Amino acid sequence: MESLETPAEQSAAPEMPLETPAQLPGDFESLMQRHAQMERQQRQNPESLNTETLRAFVAELQALSQSVTGEQRETLEAAQRRWIAFLELRKAMASNRRGGIPVWALMLITVAGMLAISLGITWMLRRDATPTVSPTQISLADLTPTGTLPGGGITQLATPTLEILPTPTPVFQVLPTVTPIPTPETTPEPTTEVTVTVAPTVAPYTDPSGDIASLAGGQAVSDPPVGLDSISCNVGGDTLVLRDALPPFTVEGAGDATRLTVWLKLAEPPPAQRALTYHWILALDVDGNAGTGRPRGAGYINPDLGTEVGAGVLFYPDGRAEPYFYIWDSAQGDWASGTRVPDLLQVTFTENRDAIALSFPIAELSAAIQDISGVTLDAAQLRGRIGTIASSDTVASIVDFCPDLP
């Protein structure tokens, strides 16, 4: 599970106005069959769709929609909006490579495309009991390495073809770093109040100071931004998640055996006034088998592991925190998200955000992974990696992983 991606290079062919074909298609069913075939082609290889062909198909949909009524017309108009949104997204991405539009505009266009897709899928579900395959969704964490620098540095990143961001709604808890212990009252016959402190049976992993590098090239950064250097986490040096290593800050349910809590402590928090976006990212191999889940080497955070779970939080300069949670769909070979993934992620920050914890109920998490990924969660074999990334539109991504990459 992984993020901060740049849209893939796509053709920058000049845009032409839509033309209405001379003749209408034979019937409604044949046109919808072509619509389904083009959707499958888009999921498999979006760049293979010719822009002019798409414009002509949109014109056919528009022409036929004017000659029918009722549900057929609604379906044709939904399909028309779906392909117009795709064409606009392609055009926007091409413009963005030339410095045309900001990222927020791309996100608005993507949302419009998703609305159009949902209307088309609604009609298909009514017509046929067999569920359709949802459009390809690419995780914020879905970056593909194109090469590794000598000495085991961080891999060079290639860009995905399309980015569709889910909107999960996890529960936030902002808790103070230190909880004061109340002073016992003195009585004529004083009694001693005993507080039992549960000590972890395993020491957390200690991350070396100053081991911050560029995400794209792996070069060391001599003057990194504040709030990026991690000092400890409960992910061991062999990437094993140490479930008994309690966090050095207050996290509700951290010692509960029914929950999985992964935490990270920073040397200092991000500054209150900042221009950078901070990103905490977690990837988990839930069965310790590198041959299951997302293939190892397919992403920069777990080059040595398979990955079934991806989660994280984007922390923007304006103070907004945007969490996300993904599960690897083995049948589809991509990240599942949205309504297919239950709302399990609970995020806890310290008050000044110098530490973060990501927590899941183990029973519900295990059931979701089994259903979507086909893998059985083994708490004793959990492995993974957690990291902090800082970047902006003008500053290249800088990262500190805990533990470091192999």
**How confident is the model over 267-297, as pLDDT tens digits?**
999 999 999 999 999 999 999 999 999 998 8
Q: What is the residue extent of each domain of the chain? A: 28-127, 160-402
Helix/strand/coil for 98: coil
Q: Could you give the percent of the chain with pLDDT greater than 70? A: 67
CB 348 within 8 A of CB 357: yes
Q: What is the pLDDT of residue 287?
A: 94
Residue 19: count other Cβ atoms within 10 Å of its Cβ.
11
Nearest to 38 by CA among 28, 30, 46: 46
Helix/strand/coil for 309: strand
Q: Tell me the average pLDDT of the chain.
A: 76
Overall average pLDDT of the 218-222 stretch: 85
Overall average pLDDT of the 196-220 stretch: 80
What's the pLDDT band for 137 if we cut at 50, 70, 90? Answer: very low
Q: What is the pLDDT of residue 104?
A: 53
403 cis-preceded (ω within 30 degrees of 0) = yes
Out of 10-14, 39-43, 312-316, 397-401, least confident range: 10-14
Q: Label the pairing between strands 383-391 and 398-402.
A: antiparallel
Q: Label the pairing between strands 346-350 and 171-175.
A: parallel
Q: Is residue 180 predicted with pLDDT exceeding 70?
A: no
How far is it, in rounded angstroms, from Cα 282 to Cα 263? 10
Which pair of structure tokens corresponds to residue 322? 């945007």
Overall average pLDDT of the 238-264 stretch: 92
Overall average pLDDT of the 137-163 stretch: 38
Q: What is the pLDDT of residue 165?
A: 43
Distances (CA, A) of 192 to 115, 183, 187, 196, 226: 63, 11, 11, 13, 44
CB 372 within 8 A of CB 305: no
Helix/strand/coil for 48: helix
Nearest to 403 by CA among 94, 152, 134, 120: 152
Residue 200: count other Cβ atoms within 10 Å of its Cβ.
16
What's the pLDDT band for 138 if we cut at 50, 70, 90? Answer: very low
How far is it, in rounded angstroms, from Cα 255 to Cα 388? 24
Q: Is residue 195 predicted with pLDDT exceeding 60?
A: no
CB 226 within 8 A of CB 183: no
CB 300 within 8 A of CB 148: no
Alpha-helical segments (H) within 45-142: 51-65, 70-97, 103-127
CB 345 within 8 A of CB 166: no
How far is it, in rounded angstroms, from Cα 331 to Cα 317? 38
Q: What is the pLDDT of residue 241?
A: 94
What's the pLDDT band for 120 if we cut at 50, 70, 90? Answer: low
Q: What is the pLDDT of residue 33?
A: 86
**Residue whose pair of structure tokens reads 């893939």 in the numeric block:** 8
Q: Which helix (H) or strand (E) holds 40?
A: helix 28-44
How far is it, in rounded angstroms, from Cα 223 to Cα 357? 27
Q: Is residue 360 predicted with pLDDT exceeding 90?
A: yes
Q: What is the pLDDT of residue 294?
A: 93
Give the CA-trace dihedral at 228, 106, 48, 161, to 10 degrees. 10
Q: What is the pLDDT of residue 75?
A: 87
